[in-house]
Amino acid sequence: MARLLKRRAPEIGLPPGTLVHIGERKTETAQLSLMEYSPETCREVRPCTVNQCLPTAETKAVRWINLDGIHDLKLVEELGQAFGVHPLVLEDIVNTGQRPKFEDYGDYIFMVVKMLYLDPEHKEIIAEQVSLLLGRGFVLSFQEAPGDVFDIIRERIRQDQGRIRKMGSDYLAYSLMDALLDNYFVVLERFAENIEWVEDHLVERPSPGILQEVYTLKREAVFLRKCAWPLRELFSALERSGSSLVRKETALYLRDLYDHTIQVVDTVEMFRESISGMLDVYLSSASNRMNEVMKVLTIIATIFIPLTFIAGVYGMNLQIPETNWAWSYPAVWAVMLAVAGGMLYYFRKRRWL
């Protein structure tokens, strides 16, 4: 539940545009880092100050400024003012309860996405909010904590792999998005393994514990869906936005992102169907097992009840003629066996056994 509804209480009553950090504080000290590159050069400053991030006049280099730790409101505000960011955008950046979204502010494009991890022990999916600001010649990225899926991009920039050094800030923003989305596939794969594991156990031995696992999977799938679904809209809006910040050659890549998102959403929907099918399998197999138990037990009981009645008859202290006959005992046994055999035959004939 906590993941679904970030406490907003501290924010209530403050004028709009006031920065309040909403969410768990995931790191102690916030750290700003800068990466500046052009086709020829590449420079990293870590940690850096807000002043170091500002563009020196007349450069064609692309600057990527990354902030780990959005709880440091002062730093966020300072950065925001330096790059002319609207207060409402800053408010959204420090509020980790945002829904993935895209907003075009003319001078810059603002995007919020969730970075997903799969906590291997608790089988829970953890989401970290990543905000991206794409401006002319720079990309600002805001994260809740250090550690991300962007190291690949950093390496690619440093070693001048692919075309990234040759392209502009829009391609950098695309690359970051792409890395985030690639990570969704990693999470989906691990999640699929969880589903398969539970599926296998369901067939072997349905137990209430496994049922609990299925419900956990279901809840996680709902969470995944909540994270992935708005991405469709986001990338579709981004592609259609016609913003001058996105060059024509990058637009093609954005269409690719959109395709990937649809694949993610499709897979999540498939998972949901699969999990709800598992629930059906569990319920019907649990009911099958119970029915089997009840059936065998009831059959045993039913065979012995008439026999016990016969024994009871000859246990009566009445003047029963048969009691004096020598062969009555084996005869009674014969009758009893006949009754038991008859019932077993009847059961078998009606396919109850």
Footprint of its own copies on 35-94 (CB under 8 A): 86, 88, 91-92
Alpha-carbon gap, residue 255 to 152, rounded angstroms: 21
Contact call for residue 28 and its own copies (CB under 8 A) = no
Contact call for residue 178 and its own copies (CB under 8 A) = yes
Contact call for residue 159 and its own copies (CB under 8 A) = no
Cα Rg for the chain, rounded, in angstroms?
A: 34
Q: How many binding residues for its own copies (CB under 8 A)?
A: 109
**Which stretch in 23-31, 113-121, 132-140, 286-294 sits in contact with its own copies by CB under 8 A?**
286-294
Q: Cis link prior to 47 (omega < 30° from 0)?
A: yes
Contact call for residue 320 and its own copies (CB under 8 A) = yes
Question: Is residue 122 within 8 Å of residue 135, measured between CB atoms?
Answer: no
Strands 42-45, 62-68: pairing kind = unpaired
Q: How many Cα atoms within 13 Å fall on the side-chain side of residue 213?
A: 18
Query: Which of 42, 82, 145, 211 is close enough to bind its own copies by CB under 8 A?
Result: 211
Structure tokens at 109: 């494009």
Query: Which of 81, 84, 297, 335 is close enough to bind its own copies by CB under 8 A?
Result: 297
Contact call for residue 163 and its own copies (CB under 8 A) = yes
Residue 142 vs 174, nearer CB to its own copies: 174
Contact call for residue 210 and its own copies (CB under 8 A) = no
* Min separation Cβ 321 and its own copies, Å: 7
Contact call for residue 156 and its own copies (CB under 8 A) = yes
Query: How many other CB atoms are found less than 10 A from the CB of residue 192?
Result: 14
- Interface positions, 97-116, toward its own copies (CB under 8 A): 97-99, 101, 103
Contact call for residue 311 and its own copies (CB under 8 A) = yes
Contact call for residue 335 and its own copies (CB under 8 A) = no
Q: Is 272 helix (H, G, I), strand (E, B) or coil?
A: helix
Helix (H) and strand (E) counts for the chain? 8, 7
* Min separation Cβ 286 and its own copies, Å: 8
Phi-psi region of 166 (alpha: psi -120 to 50; beta: other; left: phi over 0): alpha
Contact call for residue 222 and its own copies (CB under 8 A) = yes
Residue 53: its H or E element: helix 50-53
